[in-house]
Structure formats: C-alpha cells, structure tokens
Structure 1
Amino acid sequence: MDCGGAVPYLGKDDYERMLALAVAVLESRQPETVWRLIAQELLRTLDGSVLLMKDEEWTPADGAVRAWLRDASAPVEPVGRTAGFVRSGYPFATHYGSRTDREPRTAAQLVGERAWRHSETASALRDSFGTRHMLGLPFPDRDGAVRGFIVHRSGADFDARDLHYAARVQPLLSAAAAQCRLLAPRQPAGAPGPAPATGGLTPRETAVLRTLAEGLPATAMARRLGVSVRTVHKHLQNLYRKLGTADRLGTVLRAQELGLLPPAHPPAAAGTPR
C-alpha cells in the first residue's frame, strides 16, 4: 500500500457528508441511532464490509464490542472463535496502548503486510467475514485509553485517501461518542428496583475500584485488567477526583458509603450470631 506522495484530496461531497452526520448526531436522542448513523457513513465512505466499535478501553479482558455489517441496520454480536480475536483488537490495541499516537493506521502498516496476512486474527476474520484488511480509527481521547472503530474490508487495502478521510472524521467520532455517553438511558421513574449506583464512574474505573478494594498493587491490577500500569494510575487519579478522596483506603471507604462497593462486613441476618 502506497501512502506516500502528495496529500490526498477530499471533495466537497466528503465534507458535506461529515457536516450532515454531525447535525444528525446532535439531533439524535438515542445512542443506538447515533452509532447506526456513524456505522452507515463509515462503511459507505470507506467501502467497508464490517465495522467494529468499542467505547471502552480496548483490552481482551472485558467490555462489549459492537459490530455492524454493510447491509445491516442493527449491530451484530461476534461469536465463537471470532469473538476472541475481535476482543483482542490485534494489532491496534497493542500499538495504540503503548504510545500516544492516535493516527489512523492499517493492520499492514503496523505489523507488515506478510505478518498480518498470516496472523491468526486475519485468518479468523477471513473465515467469518470474508475480509482481508483492517483500518484502526481510534478516538483521540486524552486519558490514554484506547477506544474507537476498526473497519474491515475485502478486496484492495485502504489507501492514502482512506487514511486522510479517517483522520479528518476522527474529531467528529470522538464528539459523537461523548454525545452517546450523555444520552445513555437512565432507569425511568417508577421502574422496579433502584438503578445500580455508578457514582459517575466509567465501567473501567469501576473495574479498577473493585481491584483496589482487594488490596492489589498497581502491577497486579494492570495484569488483572489487561492494561498498563500507567493506565491504572490514570484511572486511580480519576477515582480520587470523582469520589473526593486522596488515597486508596479513603477511596474504598467512600465507595462503600456510596454503595459502589459492598460493605467490608455485611450486617448479619436476624437471628444469626455474629
């Protein structure tokens, strides 16, 4: 794939579609509508066959990965052998997770065309989706987490123009993700049972909080969650800020007070000796 030479040109239609997508995202009131609009635009413009998205840190350990097919209006769920390779995010999760670079890249750019073609991930995706090439399109987040899209394509690999478009649409995708978090459904009034307490924490911060309650050091927390020690420390700082605490013990105690963690010594049932 040749990505050198002059800067590729994006036409007026490209920018008009981006503007139309931005307006549609702002007018949407349902996260699923936002993601569907984005999926349709990316698959059409980048001639993709499958689009994967993870709006949580892209690690093999946890978090939902959504997938859209070219002709499907609703997301599908990767299953079986493919699901494991999809969740691993190879080679993008490792590349973006170890550096601040968030420039869109193809799998062949990151590991070499031959290495990518003969990888287990490429083989699994060929068998399941019939695709041969991948383009990583991460959100330009500032917290160091790896989130974003992976576009799959059969036929020729992504070219310089595709990469140029991906770089131009990145800020819009990041803003759309933030919009979806704001639009995330909350339990309606009168619904049975209380909504789970989150304290404004993200799923990853909640996972870090739980490992913190186990008394694990940062290195063990990183291994458990499949992230770097640096990322663990960033999540810890976010926890301190959101919970108004200054150290690990205070954070755990505050989380227990808020119902984010079970109490250290649950009260015994009536009639049960302590």
Structure 2
Amino acid sequence: MPYLRQEDYERMLGLAVAVLESRRPETVWRLIAQELLRTLDGSVLLMKDEEWTPSSGTVSAWLRDASAPVEPAGATAGLVRSGYPFATHYGRHTDREPRTAAQLAGDRAWRHSGTASALRESFGTRHMLGLPLPGGDDGAVRGFIVHRDGADFDARDLDYAARVQPLLAAAAAQCRLLGGLRGTGGPEPEPELVTGGLTPRETAVLHTLAEGLPATAMARRLGVSVRTVHKHLQNLYRKLGTADRLGTVLRAQEAGLLPSVPPSAPAGRPR
C-alpha cells in the first residue's frame, strides 16, 4: 500500500505557508506549478482556471523551474483545450479523484491516441495525470494536468495528488481573492518577485526569517527539523548571494521577495 513520506507533508505545509504569504496571484500559481512538477516528477504542468473550447481560451503551460507560463500554439493548443480524456470524465461526473490518462482511456487507447502523439511531439511527454479541483459552484471543471515522460504515475503519485487537492483548492480561492482586490480598486499588493528560483519551502523559510525567528521557532512554525531549516537557509544564502540572515532579508526586500519595512523596524535578528 502506498504511503507518503514525511518530506511530502513538509512540502505541503511549506507550500501552504508560502501561498498565504504571497500577495500576487501569479506568484501563487508559480509556487503551485513548481511544487507539483517537482513532487510528481513532471516536466510540463497545464493549468485550467477557465472554461475552454477547442478554439478559444487561455492555456497556461508551466515548464519545470520556469518563472512564468507559456501558451501552446497551433494544433497542440486545440488538443489541450479538448481535454481528452479528462474533459469527458470530469465533465460528466461529480467524481474529482485524480486519475491518469491511461486509467480513463485505457492504456492502449491512450498510447495510440492523437492527443498522446501530439503531446509527445510538442512536450516530449508520454503520460498525464489529471488533478481537478474539488468544489466549484458554477459546475466548471478546473484544475491541473501534469505531464511526464518515463514511467507512468503510480499509486504513491495518486495518493499525493488526492491529499494535496484541498490545499490547491484553497490556493485557487486565494488567487481569486487577490485578483478581486485589484479589480475593486483596493490597495495594490506590494511588488513581489516572480523569478529567482526559490522553492515554496524556501519562500516560507524566507518569510519566517524576516520575522526574526530563531531556527528552533522556524522549525516549529514550519513543522520541520532544525537541520532542515539550516539547509534551506544555506540555499537562500546561495541563491540570493548573501552570507547571513540580516543580509538575506535586506536583499530579499530589495528584490521584491519581501515587503519593505520602515527603517526603524527590525528586519531580522543577527545570525
């Protein structure tokens, strides 16, 4: 029977903290894309947050470690919008359990389908995992499709996808809330860097670092070991080109990764 590792739960918690600390919808989507692609060993993530037709609708395709999505063009975009075999299944049923393309269409039928051939040519991938979002008052099917080459998604991948679904639904609601604040003339969220290569866990550690918490308190907040905190701190120092906590917080503020604070406010405790 498959089971998730402690690391999987730690990553989910780190993603949740990073999403709650984010101030822009595009940053939330980037964090989600990076986390799903890394945890599920995917190479392409398709995001569906609106109704598509075979000829219209924006398709967001995230590549691994990319800072922004791209949109497939031509025939590939049409096949993606048609949603085979997920659109038929999730559109006709209330079931929102994550499924692979081979599970829904049958392994042979999927491998010989036009969609599978086009995706192999466009993305170099062979397998797809559908991860729909639960809920939705308007009846629309929203969610993600993870693509990868090599072996198909296994029972452990499906277990992780099912457990992360509520978090993804909450993150999508957070994105709609942040977008609504912009549309209603509310205060514009402070700029936030959408590049830089920080993982969701590193982003969460960065925000706790800005609060001036010692490593033990950071570990308790994030539900990880002190050793794991120090590992992420070293990654932050390397990626931001800094050598200590205070320098890291100041550099992150300059880059837009953290909101600015008044000069009199403490940016963080010394190392």
TM-score for the superposition, normalised by structure 2:
0.65
Q: Which residue of 1 aligns with 2:243?
A: none
Q: Pick one of 183, 186, 201 that aligns with 2:178.
A: 183
Report if the CA contact (8 A) 2:101-2:128 is conserved.
yes
Report if the CA contact (8 A) 1:39-1:51 is conserved.
yes
Could you list the structure 1 runs, at least 4 aligned residues long, displaced by more than 2 angstroms after superposition. Answer: 57-63, 185-189
Matched, 1:54 2:48: yes
Q: Pick one of 146, 149, 158 that aligns with 1:151.
A: 146
Q: CA RMSD in A?
A: 1.5
For residues 58 and 19 of structure 1, do their structure 2 counterparts lie closer, same or farther at Cα, with a shift above 3 Å needed? farther
Q: Which residue of 2 aligns with 1:163?
A: 158
Amino acid aligned to 2:6 = K
Report if the CA contact (8 A) 2:58-2:71 is conserved.
no
TM-score for the superposition, normalised by structure 1:
0.64
The secondary structure found in structure 2 opposite 1:131 is coil
The secondary structure found in structure 2 opposite 1:114 is helix
Kindly provide the CA deviation profile for residues 105-164 of structure 1, in whole angstroms up to 9, marking residues without a partner as x. 000000101100111100110000000000000000243321100000000000000000
Offset at residue 188 of structure 1 (A): 5.4
Report if the CA contact (8 A) 1:136-1:149 is conserved.
yes
Q: Distance in 2 between matches of 1:41 and 1:69?
A: 12
Amino acid aligned to 2:3 = Y
Structure 1: gaps spanning 5 or more residues: 1-5, 190-274
Report if the CA contact (8 A) 1:53-1:148 is conserved.
yes
Larger radius of gyration: 1
Amino acid aligned to 1:113 = D
Offset at residue 62 of structure 1 (A): 3.9
Q: Distance in 2 between matches of 1:58 and 1:105?
A: 20
Q: Distance in 2 between matches of 1:43 and 1:78?
A: 18
> Larger relative CO (CA 8 A, sep 6+): 1 or 2?
2
Q: Pick one of 59, 64, 72 that aligns with 1:65.
A: 59
Q: Which residue of 1 aligns with 2:169?
A: 174
For residues 63 and 80 of structure 1, do their structure 2 counterparts lie closer, same or farther at Cα, with a shift above 3 Å needed? closer
Offset at residue 56 of structure 1 (A): 1.6
Farther off after superposition, 62-71 or 134-143: 62-71
Report if the CA contact (8 A) 1:135-1:158 is conserved.
yes
